[in-house]
Amino acid sequence: MDNSAAPAAQALRCWVEGRRIWLELTDQRLLSFPATKYPLLANAPQGLLEKAQIRLQGRALRWEELDEDIWVDDVVHGRFPRTKAPAIVAT
């Protein structure tokens, strides 16, 4: 059994089309996610949304003016922030 951890996903390129963020990974995969998956991105003006930068040797995305950082590996594995569900009040 191999106990070594899989290497973290790395992005070569990042761009925005409409309200979707696209990534090209080092293993040649292309994937995207909607800006609505992240509260700061969901409400960002288009001009700021398009200022995504790749950081940490392709392991992270950064939006400086929005103060938002996202791990590429989280996107690859579908680990998005949880939205707050409305509280259920017992009566």
What CATH number did the domain enclosing 44 receive?
3.30.2020.40
H/E stretch holding 41: helix 39-42
Distance between start and end Cα atoms, the chain: 52
User: What tens digit of pLDDT does each residue of 9-44 get?
Assistant: 899 999 999 999 999 999 999 999 999 999 999 999
Q: Which of 39, 23, 30, 1 is nearest to 72 (CA)?
A: 23
User: What tens digit of pLDDT does each residue of 35-65 get?
Assistant: 999 999 999 999 999 999 999 999 999 999 9
Phi, psi of 52 (to 5 degrees): -65, 140
Residue with tokens 């995305």: 61
Joined tokens for residue 2: 């191999």
For residue 21, is it within any domain?
yes
For residue 53, is it within any domain?
yes
For residue 1, is it within any domain?
no
pTM (2 decimals)?
Answer: 0.80
Residue 70 has pLDDT above 90, yes or no: yes
Q: How many domains are there within the chain? A: 1
Instruction: Band the pLDDT of 3: cuts 50, 70, 90.
Output: very low
Residue 91 has pLDDT above 90, yes or no: no
